[in-house]
Structure 1
Amino acid sequence: MYKILNKKELVPNVFLIEVQAPRIAKSCLPGQFAIVKVDEKAERIPLAISDYDAKKGTVTIVFQVLGASTQKIANYNVGQSFKDFVGPLGQSSILMSEDLEKLKNKKMLFIGGGPGTAAIYPQVKWLNENRVNVDVIIGGKSKQYLVLEEELKEISANLYIATDDGSYGYKGFTTDLLIELIEKERKKYDQVVAIGSMNMMRSISEVTKSFGIKTTVSLKSIMVDGVGLCGGCRVTVGGETKFACLDGPEFDGHLVDFEEAIRRQSMYKTEEGKNFIEKQEKEEGHICHVGL
């Protein structure tokens, strides 16, 4: 059993939960995810690891309540335990495979949209610990929806904020602020890492492609089973079929077929779509577990 040591609501419907999981904490790398199963009858839910502490033996997840399964996780409180907490899964951040000295010479920008901000946090933290300075943009509908602002302010070279309603920071989307930084402030970046909604990552990738900036995105949001059994996270990257849970979750944003990924993700939001995909996967020999 995996005991909950800390829980708080960061912004409306977005929760942080710190779990006692020593073995996982010792093996984590930025960019990976864990699977949570709250009890015997619950679904397996893949969630991004937003922080970990090998000394304390803890792993932190941040997630948005989107349906019955994530609501069930949110209903658990400090002192209670999850039945299963499996990980770390998926490939670590693409940056982990690069030479540290080369990273120090790179100009990098991380962009987090809404709850996706929690997924850029471990990467920015790891880079900061290794004396690699990076810029960060975080965005939300309004000030009250900004995730981990103070935490990122402490570990980034420059933190830029965008809100849709202009209640705080720059008025507009993260894409608008990105263009502002490049065109008006003459910022030059070698690489962008963007994690947020599919539409946000698609828009960011379109902008960076026009400027010739290498871009990494995370497709964790299309995962269903999380271990490659269901095929629900199939995506076309550079003309090849990939699985977000096994080959990712990070991919080259300029090579991802976002139209396909968005269509597939949207199908899980309706019962008709879920039934269609379940039928399709069974015909192909998969066992699919759908739900939020």
Structure 2
Amino acid sequence: MAKILRRERLVPNIHLIEVHAPDIAQKSKPGQFVIIMPDEKGERIPLTIADWDKEKGSVTSIFMVVGTSTHKLSLFEAGSEVPVFVGPLGKPSEIKKYGTVLLAGGCFGIAAIYPVARALKEEGNKIITLLDVKANYLLYWEEKLRAVSDQFLVSARDSYYSCKDYIPKTLQNIIKKGSKIHKVISIGCTYLMYTCSEATKPHGIETSVSLNPIMVDGTGMCGACRVTVDGRTKFACVDGPDFNGHLVDWEELFSRRKSYFDDEIQSLCHWEKNNFPR
């Protein structure tokens, strides 16, 4: 059992969970993830490691409430325990000196890009952080990300910030202005990563995406997280989660992510009916 040290709602529908896991904290690297189960009968949920504290022995992840299991997680309080919290899993992100790196994030991906940006900054890269939110009140971790960024940009649909265009268009505008970008890293919903990859492809800018397909065991045995990259089958849990966004079969990934959509809705409705009767 792993003890929850903190669970808080950062913005509507986005929660932070900090878990006491000393062994994982000692080994965590940017880009890796953990598997958590809210109860013994729940599903195994992959969550990107957003931060860790080796001295405190804690690991922090950010999650978006979308289904039964994440709803359960959102109700936990400090001191509660979860039966499964394993990791770090997946290959770490490649951290080296590129030059100028643009990191694009949205939703849960805003937190997921933080450890990557921090590590790349420490390697001497110039960091451009580009975040996407529907409205200004959905932005979180601004101070943390500003601290590791040379340039910090936010695109919000409510026009609160200087830009209201969706990230890919903003990304294209940055490129067209002549800014030399050596690498783009995009983390967030599948559509965000797809459109960022499409925006950089004509310019030949190396683009990395952190794929989040359906996942079960997280160790390469079940094959549920298989994706096609450059015409070859890969497992996101052991071969990734980072892949070249220009080589991903996005049509297949979009299709696979919808496989259990109806079942997930039925599960959530059943759980809410039993736990929150009117």
TM-score > 0.5, shorter chain as reference: yes
State the shift of 1:169 in Å. Answer: 3.4
- Give the TM-score normalised by structure 2: 0.91
- 2:109 maps to 116
Unmatched segments (≥5 aa) in structure 1: 275-292
State the shift of 1:221 in Å. Answer: 4.4
Counterpart amino acid of 1:156? S
> Is 1:85 the equivalent of 2:77?
no
> Is 1:208 the equivalent of 2:197?
no
Residue of structure 1 aligned with 2:183, choices 191, 200, 224? 191
Q: Kindly report which structure 2 residues correspond to 1:90-169, keeping only aligned pairs within 5 A, or say none.
A: 90-93=90-93, 95-96=94-95, 100=96, 103=97, 106-169=99-162
Q: C-alpha separation between the residues in 1 aligned to 2:109 and 2:216? A: 17
Q: Secondary structure at the match of 2:87?
A: strand
Q: C-alpha separation between the residues in 2 aligned to 1:273 and 1:10? A: 24
State the shift of 1:51 in Å. Answer: 0.5
- 1:258 maps to 250
In 2 relative to 1, CA 6–163 (structure 1 residues): closer, same or farther, beyond 3 Å?
Answer: same
> Is 1:60 the equivalent of 2:52?
no
In 2 relative to 1, CA 212–164 (structure 1 residues): closer, same or farther, beyond 3 Å?
Answer: same
Residue of structure 2 aligned with 1:173, choices 159, 166, 169? 166
Q: 1:58-101, CA deviations, whole angstroms, 9 ceiling, x for partnerless residues?
A: 100100011001111111111112122100001110x23xxx4x
Q: C-alpha separation between the residues in 2 aligned to 1:154 and 1:272? A: 38
Higher share in helix: 1
- What is the percent sequence identity of the aligned residues? 45
State the shift of 1:267 in Å. Answer: 1.7
* Preserved CA contact (<8 Å) 1:50 1:118: yes
- Give the TM-score normalised by structure 1: 0.86
Q: C-alpha separation between the residues in 2 aligned to 1:273 and 1:259? A: 23
Q: Secondary structure at the match of 1:92?
A: coil
Moved beyond 6 Å, runs of 4+: none
Q: Which moved more, 1:205-214 or 1:127-136?
A: 127-136
Pairs aligned (count): 266
State the shift of 1:222 in Å. Answer: 3.6
Counterpart amino acid of 2:245? G
Q: C-alpha separation between the residues in 2 aligned to 1:132 and 1:205? A: 21
Unmatched segments (≥5 aa) in structure 2: 267-278
Counterpart amino acid of 1:47? L
Alignment root-mean-square deviation, CA? 1.8
Q: C-alpha separation between the residues in 2 aligned to 1:217 and 1:189? A: 16
* Preserved CA contact (<8 Å) 2:68 2:264: no
State the shift of 1:237 in Å. Answer: 0.2
Q: C-alpha separation between the residues in 2 aligned to 1:82 and 1:214? A: 39
Counterpart amino acid of 1:24? I
State the shift of 1:179 in Å. Answer: 1.3
In 2 relative to 1, CA 273–15 (structure 1 residues): closer, same or farther, beyond 3 Å?
Answer: closer
- 1:270 maps to 262
* Preserved CA contact (<8 Å) 1:135 1:158: yes
- 1:281 maps to none
Q: 1:138-190, CA deviations, whole angstroms, 9 ceiling, x for partnerless residues?
A: 11111112232221011111111101232333111111111121113x21101
